[in-house]
């Protein structure tokens, strides 16, 4: 059976994440030590102790999720468990690139450091917000986003489950429009910026400089990327798409559907939480989906 690894993005964090792995495995301690050297602060302390209002800040959230995911990927690799293809939701695409041997852990984390920091800065420079829209079809979504000001689809997560992103007033008006046309599920999200929208443009140049500073290899296995939902293996294309992802929607529902189209039927979420497993059940309920992010789950899985 061809197995896919899926790597979660921002929103999957929780205080105490990866502590059980750190306490049990030397390689987990080693990863956090590497991370501290690259980031310049004690990531383990923030991930394990929080508090939540610190951990959920973008510049800390993204490295925490990335390191947690790679520790799980490391363990599975050590047991001879490898994916036949990978994908990652937004931030998770960097974990996917490490799993596919496109980037080293160190290089990927150095990029994540810049990406997270610059996205946080962009959120302060151009304040924005995001909202979940549940139950809207494509025509309704177009109506919802037809506002004065910037508001765009940001995460196309599953049928009837989309996140929009943009300027605060535009998103607020979009929520009102959604309710006016009969969409009951229109909920503002507690985020620090308008991710995957034009409001992230100021982060583009620093991110490109970070991407140019490291070596991208061709992928050993297909990486289904956020911007086009298609499998990619060539280094130059992987690099170009990871930059475009900053301001483009995450086409997650298409990614999972295209993986099924290409013969993949077993999906494993690698990292904290079960967000992607839940989305999979909405996209392809007939396929096997599971998650693995704790010591107990690791021991049960292998």
Q: Which of 68, 89, 126, 196 is catalytic?
A: 196
Residue 259: count of CB within 10 angstroms of its CB: 27
Distance (Å, whole) CA 30 – CA 130:
36
Would you call 90 a catalytic residue per the annotation? yes
C-alpha torsion angle, residues 53, 56, 60, 63 (rounded to 10): 150
Distance (Å, whole) CA 200 – CA 187:
22
Distance (Å, whole) CA 217 – CA 234:
8
Distance (Å, whole) CA 193 – CA 167:
9
Q: Which of 69, 90, 129, 165 is catalytic?
A: 90
Distance (Å, whole) CA 246 – CA 15:
26
CA 199 to chain centre: 18
Question: Catalytic positions, please?
Answer: 90, 196
């Amino acid at each position: 059976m061809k197995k896919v690894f899926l790597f979660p993005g921002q929103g999957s964090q929780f205080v105490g994440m990866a502590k059980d792995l750190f306490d049990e495995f030397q390689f987990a301690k080693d990863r956090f030590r590497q991370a501290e050297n690259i980031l310049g602060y004690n990531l383990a302390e923030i991930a394990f102790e929080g508090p939540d209002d610190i951990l959920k800040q973008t510049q800390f959230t993204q490295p925490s999720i990335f390191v947690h995911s790679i520790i799980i990927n490391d363990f599975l690799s050590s047991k001879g468990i490898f994916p036949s293809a990978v994908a990652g939701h937004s931030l998770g695409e960097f974990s996917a690139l490490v799993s596919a041997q496109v980037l080293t852990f160190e290089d990927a984390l150095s990029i994540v450091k810049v990406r997270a920091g610059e996205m946080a800065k962009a959120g302060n420079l151009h304040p924005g917000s995001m909202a979940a829209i549940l139950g809207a079809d494509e025509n309704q979504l177009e109506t919802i986003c037809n506002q004065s000001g910037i508001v765009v689809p940001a995460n196309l997560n599953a049928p009837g489950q989309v996140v929009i992103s943009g300027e605060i007033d535009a998103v607020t008006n979009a929520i009102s429009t959604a309710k006016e046309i009969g969409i009951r599920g229109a909920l503002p999200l507690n985020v620090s910026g308008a991710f995957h929208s034009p409001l992230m443009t100021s982060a583009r140049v620093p991110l490109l400089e970070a991407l140019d500073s490291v070596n991208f290899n061709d992928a050993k296995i297909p990486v289904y990327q956020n911007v086009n939902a298609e499998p990619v293996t060539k280094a130059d294309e992987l690099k170009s798409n990871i930059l475009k992802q900053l301001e483009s929607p995450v086409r997650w529902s298409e990614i999972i559907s295209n993986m099924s189209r290409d013969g993949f039927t077993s999906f494993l979420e690698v990292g904290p939480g079960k967000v992607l497993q839940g989305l999979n059940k909405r996209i392809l309920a007939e396929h096997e989906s599971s998650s693995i992010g704790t010591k107990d789950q690791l021991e049960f899985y292998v």
